[in-house]
Amino acid sequence: MNHASDSFQRDFIRAIYGVGDSQSSLAQLTGQPGFKVYRNTVLKASVDALAANYPAIVRLVGEEWFRSAALIHACAEPPQSVCLIEYGRGFADFLSAFGPAAELPYLGDVARLDRFWTECHIAADEAPLEAAMLAALGEADLLRSVLRPRAAVRWRWCANQPAYAIWQANREQRELADELDWDGEGALLSRIDGQVAWQAASLGMCVFLDACAAGEDLQAATTKAVDAEPGLDVARLLGALIHAEAFASPVMPTR
């Protein structure tokens, strides 16, 4: 391992993003006009990547506000990969704690839904569960089976704010409704036939999916979902999730 080379690369990256020590061994290099041009080019590429990965946020806050915030984030958390479609994992958390965004408490959750779109888009392919596979199980085996969410599925319950409605309108580039019910909302995103689709998700659906992702069997997941949302129609819920291709093949119970 070349420790000198590794150290140089770390210092160089830190200098590009404005966190290098001015007294470091790179001071002579970083003081040159050409380095400043290169630094600006790299930072612009990072900000451009964030804008491409968070289109709903750009539309919500405007290009100028977004690019100012994105530049701060890029300097604090530079890309870790040359594949910039993956860049911005921590951007939603950054926005949630960003002082100038304090009057937009939904901004972090809207950003998380943008991030979910990216994660669904680039996730590995998996064959979806077919309803016939569940129908073939006996009742006891069905209740003991574990429904495993596909890699290309994401969901979230956003308490106390209509983050999904705000995200959906801006993602689809249409006007938001004049009056929004300021209540909790959920979202389900899934890649179907190569395209990311989205739909509203109830609290019960999100709790159900959380339980499935944690490895709980169908009976336990159903109990938690109904506790969270009394009156939930479990058969309709399962039908909607299978139609959305939310699950891969189930983990079958061992006898």
What does DSSP say about strands 185-192 and 195-201: parallel, antiparallel, or unpaired?
A: antiparallel
pTM of the prediction? 0.85
Q: What is the mean pLDDT of residues 167-172?
A: 96
CA distance 56 to 29: 39
Kind and range of the H or E element at 199? strand 195-201
CA distance 166 to 115: 15
Tens-place pLDDT, residues 173-199:
999 877 888 899 999 999 999 999 999
Q: What angle do CA 27, 28, 31 make, to 5 degrees?
A: 80
Tens-place pLDDT, residues 220-231:
999 999 999 999
